[in-house]
Structure 1
Amino acid sequence: MRDELLYLGQEIVSHKSEIAKYIIDYQEQRYSEQLKFSGLQMEKITEWRIELIHILGESLYEDQRDSLIKIKEWSQKVGEIAIQRGISLNDSLKTLSTFRTAIWDFFNEQIDNQISASIMLQSNKKINPLLDEIAYLFNELFIKQQNDQLALVHTAMDELSAPIVPIADKIAILPLVGEINTHRSSSVMETALKKSSELQLDYLFIDISGVAIMDTMISHNIYQIVNALKMMGVQSVLTGIRPEVAHTLGNLGITFDDLKTSSSLKQALEDIGFNQNDLAIPL
């Protein structure tokens, strides 16, 4: 049986270019158009396909571990290019099935009489797991790419949720709007510390007039932000505490006695001697 598998594998390797041509005939027209739109040269695509057919042929007489190493290297290379060129996971997986079809159709036409059913079964047992491994690796690559994109979106949203607005030399405003949950508090703190260092701030006015609900957790989160800034030498001033928010905090027994506060941003700026002539308008 080993001799027959060796013969079959060598035939696949010897006729890999012919088998690669079968794949072009089997792939969907829509996928062919997508490949053209991706900007990939057909010669390069054919080269990758021939390389994979060669690996599949060798797998019939090589150690399976060696074949898996080659499969992983091929999948990483081709999968990353597919992602970069905008080829979908669904189309990439569909194409894998054409490799299996192309190989067996070639044998049906060329050397079917020389291959027993048991050998065909054994070769399937070797080749199919490799194609399944490619599908798994492609899926992992596409999932990673989606997660990376989501992470970028979340980072952008986090930055937008904590905009540090410089209004003069060493003075900036941090307007907070919406809910300040634990995740956002961590993001706000990270952004505030980073921007305060970059801008070499002396004062950061944290305006909470846009925070709809203030409770024990939110006030604790704000305390953490202020204390972290204090350790950097940045004086934080809490502004915009609305009457209804102050009333709620009072009922909860929450005070900001140890924090510098002001009823409005305008008043807080005047308290440090800031006037409109000092305003720095970003270009």
Structure 2
Amino acid sequence: MLQNEVKKELVELGRAMYDSRSKIAANIQKPLKEYGREQTIREETVLDFQENFIVIISEAFTVNQEEMSQKIAQWAEETSNYAMQIGVTLDQPIETVKDYRSAIWNFIQQETKEQGFSIDTVFETQKIVDPMIDKTVSLLCQKYVSHHQEELKLAQDTFLELSAPVVPITETVAVLPIIGKIDTKRGYKLMDTALQQSDMYNLDYLLLDLSGVSTVDTPSINKIHETVQSLHLLGVKAIICGVRPDLSQTMCSLDIGFDNIEVHGNLRKSLSTLGIFQ
């Protein structure tokens, strides 16, 4: 009997929360100047997100857990996408979720007193509301982390793209200047760039200028060697130039065969050999 009464009161509480969603949302919203983004955050948009969250919480009193999890996940996805789109940092939505909790519980406290709901109903309400809000915080954090990981990867890919430019010298000759440290990931990018650009420019010769290379590891040396061999299969002759003494020692100590690869001391020598620079 007691359990049935609690269920009945939970339904009444959920209905009252739904009917009061606009009022609760208004209590959540902070002045936009607190975010420092008066020009980008629209009050009606923020209120829509807040009211939708209140609706989801109100439905949780009567809808099964799985369906609620899906709705919370969708809300967190849409909210975080909008927040990141306008440049809001993670701490701001997390701080706002705290305001959601306060506003929701203030309403529950007031409604419970006015309607004379039992203490058992309050306990059951806590079991429903707090885990959903905690889950929301977790989902928001996950979305932000995922977004920043994607941005970091994009930035890294862009850097690798810019750090391996093929520079045409003539219609059939180009230079690939390599600067800095060559690690395994960059080695793969260099190979991909060399092959793609050589094919696009229809090159006969590609000069791999290593004069700006600081350090390399064994996989990277192997990748340079593979690049030269792959270019050969495309009908492009690769010439290595600008190998410093310390780098040459490293390459020799790794026992990787460069005997059949043309190597010059500097870029000028390579261009001179091809009759481009005398």
For this structure pair, what is the TM-score category when the shorter chain's length is used for normalisation? 0.7 to 0.9
- 1:5 counterpart = 2:15: no
Matched ranges for 1:131-280 at <5 A: 131-213=133-215, 218-243=220-245, 245-246=247-248, 256-275=258-277
Amino acid at match of 1:54: V
Post-superposition offset of 1:215: 7.0
1:74-93 CA-to-partner distances (Å, cap 9, x unmatched) read 11111100111111111101
Q: CA deviation at 1:206?
A: 0.6
Letter of the 1:76 partner, please give it: E
List aligned pairs for 1:35-46, cutoff 5 A. Answer: 36-37=37-38, 39-46=40-47
User: What is the identity, as a one-letter code, of the residue corresponding to 1:20?
Assistant: A
Which residue of structure 2 lines up, in the alignment, with residue 280 of structure 1? none
AA of the residue aligned to 2:199:
S
Asked whether the 8 Å contact 1:164–1:172 carries over to 2, the reply is yes
Q: Distance in 2 between matches of 1:253 and 1:55?
A: 65
**Per-residue deviation, residues 22-69 of structure 1 (Å, max 9, x unmatched):** 112xx4x5x653274361221121122111101101101111222222
TM-score, scaled to structure 1: 0.86
* Aligned residue number for residue 89 of structure 1: 90
The answer to whether the aligner puts 1:100 opposite 2:101 as a matched pair is: yes
Q: Match of 1:117?
A: 119
State the alpha-carbon separation in 2 of the partners of residues 251 and 68 from structure 1. Answer: 59
Q: CA RMSD in A?
A: 2.4
**Contact conserved, 1:180 with 1:221, CA < 8 A, in 2?**
no
Task: Report if the CA contact (8 A) 2:13-2:111 is conserved.
Answer: no
Q: Which amino acid aligns with 1:5?
A: L
Identity rate of aligned residues, in percent?
A: 30
Structure 2 gap ranges (5+): 1-5
The separation in 2 between residues aligned to 1:106 and 1:248, in whole angstroms, is: 71
TM-score normalised according to structure 2 size: 0.88
2:191–2:223 CA contact under 8 A, matched in 1: no
CA contact (8 A) 1:185 1:225 kept: no
After TM superposition, the structure 1 stretch with the greater mean CA deviation from structure 2, 33-42 or 230-239, is: 33-42
Change (3 A) 1:89 1:242: closer
Q: Report the 3-state secondary structure (helix = DSSP H, G, I; strand = E; otherwise coil) of the residue aligned with 2:181.
A: coil
C-alpha distance 249-94 of structure 1, shift in aligned 2 (>3 A) = closer
**Using the alignment, how far apart are the partners of 1:266 and 1:16 within structure 2?**
74
Question: Deviation of residue 271 (structure 1)?
Answer: 2.2
Residue 23 of structure 2 aligns with which residue? 18
Residue 15 of structure 2 contacts residue 58 of structure 2 at CA under 8 Å; is this kept in 1? Answer: yes
Q: Deviations over 1:106-130 (max 9, x none)?
A: 2433441422222111111111121
Structure 1: gaps of 5 or more residues:
277-283
The 3-state SS of whatever aligns with 2:240 is strand
- Asked whether the 8 Å contact 2:183–2:216 carries over to 1, the reply is no
Shift of 1:245: 4.5
Q: Which amino acid aligns with 2:72?
A: I
Alignment of 1:68 with 2:64, yes or no, is no
Q: Work out the CA distance in 2 between the residues paired with 1:135 and 1:87.
A: 15
